[in-house]
Amino acid sequence: KTAPPAADTGKVWDELIRSRALVLDEMASRHHAASTGEGPEVAALAQALSAARTRLSALVVRGPDSQGEEDYSTEMAKAEEDKERAERNLAEKSVAFRAELAGIRRGLPEVAAALSPESALVAYVEYKQSPKLPLPRSGSSLPKPIRSYLALILRPGLPRPILIPLGPATRIETLIREWKSALAAEPMGLSRPGSRAEARYRDMGSRLRKAVWDPLVGSLGKASMVFIVPDGALSLVSLAALPTGKSAYLVESGPLMHYLSTERDLAPGPSERPAGKGLLVMGGPDFDALRAESVPGEEVMIAESTGGTGSEGKDERQLYRNPPGTCEDLQTLRFSPLPGSAEEASDIQSLWIRTSGEGNGSREIATKLTGPDATETSFKRRASGYRVLHLATHGFFLESHCPSTLHNARTSAGERFHGGREAPAILGENPLLLSGLALAGANRRQAFVPEAEDGMLTAEEITSLNLSGVEWAVLSACETGVGQVMAGEGVLGLRRAFKVAGAKTLIMSLWKVGDETSREWMRNLYEGRRRGLPTAEAVRNASLEMIKSRRSRNQSTHPFFWGAFVAAGDWR
């Protein structure tokens, strides 16, 4: 991408809107066409693809184990070929997704028409800046384009969009890395306001805010609601958590912010899909359970609320909802119990029941699955029928540069694979196998055959589910919004998987979260929903309530405790 002249900004942005996240659109449309049905043949092909994805994910999770590495590489290659063949077969037979895809090529005029008078749209763009004139003399090598960022702003009533260059990507991405390192501080050093770690965060966060947010403020006018389409490394930044002044944050002083996958998410889609019914909440899985199948969970219609206790007075040295280590492979990951996540499941169920019992006529079922019942099988069988999905558990994400089961098998087998041909690079090329959620039995996954559910719900498997009736998918775990970042396509991981599966809004985390602080934030989130707040406001309210509560207890307001969760998708 090259920054356009100001006069051409609208034309270029229109093309960008129509081209951003095309792979995501095609995957989602193809999946929707298959899941809504084009006859028994297409349904069978969709089922075959789902089975191929499950087998591939299980092989990745299990690793070579006792079988030889060469045999394992051969088996992995076959599983990948089976999945690709199933995808091709489905694409050839299913034609409805092409018609739907054609219907969603909305551009700048449609997006502008969808903006309300009090709102604004900010789209970040990673691009390559052309060399400045004059060019070098003949015979000299041309300077390389500079990878950079810019922001595009659209407000109702403006004659044309506003373009704001933000500078070289290396500088901005260095600021993001420093900001993230300040976020990674352990809470033991943050128990009181004014700690050294908190001061460092405010310093790093202020530098990032000045680089990527402050240049935009003057062009936002009086907008009280700002829709944000991130790109590149900015996809992993929570702008609301950036500091302002001596002790405040943008979530307190700035406009209401909400993330979109693409600008097109603002414009109405080609058709409305009916919402599911009720709540499915899973928490506190028994990771050591040795059972592949689930029994029916506790299903409650309307009952008295049992309430729930908060994290007041609890030790700040809490459990985290991700496995220890930074570059473990899937074969060696082990998951510790999360008592707070089980209590969180009870809290959310109780709040849902209270909401249903307050005369609004919803009276929707609230299904809670915990312990050995919180299985992968149960989630896959039940999820499509619900309006809200809530999963409180461990999340995992293996970065593509980390050694992994597939990487190790590939490099070990090397030249021996298939008579000298190199084994296919699957991990790193398929980030959906690198991220997921741990459910019941995850620590005993080596005991299951590849065809069985093993407690490791990968993003790859989620893409086979039909979640088109899901309004909220709440992933209360560590780094559920993290993945491999691709300019123009977003983040490849759990957030991509739930979008492909059809979920309208994903509430996810951008860094590691504590077991107890997550429980408190989520309780605030559903209290906001109970009061009828739209999604974007409920998310902001949950953070504001935690900041207020922590200040009243003279505790640190470092965003480590409250700022990890963001929402993307439908803001209503």
Tens-digit pLDDT string for the chain (572 aa): 555 555 589 998 998 888 887 665 666 655 665 566 556 777 788 888 889 988 998 888 877 765 567 788 888 889 999 988 988 887 776 655 554 544 456 799 999 999 999 999 999 999 998 776 665 666 666 778 899 999 999 999 888 999 999 999 999 999 999 999 998 765 555 667 778 888 999 999 999 999 999 999 999 999 999 999 999 999 999 999 999 999 999 999 999 999 999 998 998 665 556 889 999 999 999 999 986 443 344 444 322 222 333 333 344 445 787 775 555 667 788 999 999 999 999 999 999 998 876 545 556 899 999 999 999 999 999 999 999 999 999 998 877 555 544 444 444 433 333 333 333 333 445 778 888 999 999 999 888 777 778 899 999 999 889 999 999 999 999 999 998 888 777 888 999 899 989 999 999 999 999 999 999 999 999 999 999 999 999 999 999 999 999 999 999 999 999 999 999 999 99
Model pLDDT, residue 24: 59
- Torsion angle (degrees, nearest 10) of CA 409, 413, 417, 423: 40
Model pLDDT, residue 228: 98
- In whole angstroms, what is the distance from residue 314 CA to residue 339 CA? 13
Model pLDDT, residue 22: 66
The model's pTM is 0.86
DSSP, collapsed to helix, strand or coil, labels residue 537 as helix
Model pLDDT, residue 408: 47
- In whole angstroms, what is the distance from residue 288 CA to residue 372 CA? 8
Spatial CB neighbours of 53, under 8 Å, sequence gap ≥ 6: 83, 460, 461, 463, 464
Beta bridge partners of 194: none
Model pLDDT, residue 58: 87
Model pLDDT, residue 307: 31
Model pLDDT, residue 45: 80
Model pLDDT, residue 317: 45
Model pLDDT, residue 104: 52
Please confirm whether the linkage preceding 134 is cis (ω < 30° from 0). Answer: yes
Structural contact between residues 347 and 310, judged by C-beta atoms closer than 8 angstroms: no
- Torsion angle (degrees, nearest 10) of CA 430, 435, 436, 437: 170
Q: Which strands make up the sheet holding 366-371, listed edge to edge?
A: 162-168, 146-154, 119-129, 225-229, 256-259, 565-569, 505-509, 472-476, 388-392, 279-285, 366-371, 298-300
Model pLDDT, residue 426: 38
Model pLDDT, residue 458: 93
Model pLDDT, residue 380: 95
CA angle 386, 465, 60 (to 5 degrees): 130
Model pLDDT, residue 291: 60
CB-based burial label for 416 (10 Å; 0-12, 13-18, 19+): middle
For residue 73, how far is the Cα from the chain centroid?
Answer: 30
Q: What is the 3-state secondary structure (H, E, C) of 252-290?
A: HHCCEEEECCCHHHHCCCCCCCCCCCCEEEEEEECCCCC
Task: Supply 289's token pair.
Answer: 């359970």
Q: Where are the beta strands (DSSP E) in 130-270?
A: 146-154, 162-168, 225-229, 243-244, 248-249, 256-259
Q: What is the DSSP letter of 130?
A: P
Task: Supply 379's token pair.
Answer: 């989630």
